[in-house]
Amino acid sequence: MALSRKAIDDLNQGDIALIGIPFDDHSSFLTGPAKAPELIINATESDSANYFTEDLKDLNEHPQVFWCENQLGSEYLKLGDPVRQILDKKAIPFTLGGDHSITYPVMIAMAEKYSNLSILHFDAHSDLYDELDGNKHSHACPFARIMENGLAKNLTQVGIRTLNTHQNEQAERFHVEIIQMKDWKPGMAFKIDGPVYISFDMDVLDPAFAPGISHHEPGGFTTREVLSIIQSLDLNIVGIDVVEYNPDRDINGMTAMVAAKVVKEFISLLTA
């Protein structure tokens, strides 16, 4: 049993195109996420589980869902090129990182197609630093670059539990709506009109549930809470990324299975 495979060139309108961007050059603390995409696909195809989403969609050789392999450009700002090719095919890009820095080049491609994008961003961190350690493209900065370049009309962040003065000022500057982890309540709904891009950093989960991440920030979501949020989303989703899985920090591949579960439930939202 397996996910279906396709080359990006062969995609059709409405296909869901999973690609890997195995890039972690802009991680500030640890590398490792470059190894993530294939391991998340392996977990999705593990014999320890089945291919069904919780609402009973069978992703085994699903005719609309394709693993299009790792795509790696040589230049950071061009990492979104395969996303542009997927959009040209009128397919839906679903990117597996990689560290969170990949979201900026991906959004450069997304914004060429959608002029009125909103972003729903799940993360322990705001990733709004103007720069970190002198690096404007650090994985701590992508949402500052996205907002100052006008690539999204608004940004909603969920699960944040590491705000500091600088990032709070950045959030005010870019009119970011932040639902801090301390303020989140079960059943909160996200009402966002127009096309929505979802960026999901695995560290939004509590490290107890997902230890395979670079920055262990306590006090996050349970796996069940995340799945309930995903299953409750009623949005016009036009692209997704799942980033920051770090296999070097994982225990028995359990975080890969969590990432695979998150990916499957997101795919369920995209399939008819």
Considering the complex, state which of residue 127 and residue 206 has its C-beta at the smaller distance from Mn ion.
127
- The minimum distance between CB 97 and Mn ion, in angstroms, equals 9
Paired tokens of 47: 């014999």
Considering the complex, state which of residue 125 and residue 145 has its C-beta at the smaller distance from Mn ion.
125
Considering the complex, state which of residue 124 and residue 146 has its C-beta at the smaller distance from Mn ion.
124
CA 233 to chain centre: 15
Amino acid in position 98: G
- The minimum distance between CB 66 and Mn ion, in angstroms, equals 26
The partner residues of 207 in beta bridges, in order of sequence, read: none
- The minimum distance between CB 45 and Mn ion, in angstroms, equals 26
Considering the complex, state which of residue 154 and residue 167 has its C-beta at the smaller distance from Mn ion.
167
Considering the complex, state which of residue 15 and residue 244 has its C-beta at the smaller distance from Mn ion.
244
- The minimum distance between CB 23 and Mn ion, in angstroms, equals 14
State the helix-helix crossing angle for 103-113 and 81-88, rounded to 10 degrees: 30
Cα–Cα distance for residue pair 36/58, rounded to 1 Å:
23
- The minimum distance between CB 8 and Mn ion, in angstroms, equals 26
Amino acid in position 189: A
Cis peptide before 253 (omega within 30 of 0): no
Residues that bind Mn ion (CB under 5 A): 100, 123-125, 127, 201, 203
Please report, to the nearest 10 degrees, the dihedral formed by the alpha carbons of residues 84, 148, 121, 237 taken in order. Answer: -40
CB atoms within 10 A of CB 222: 13
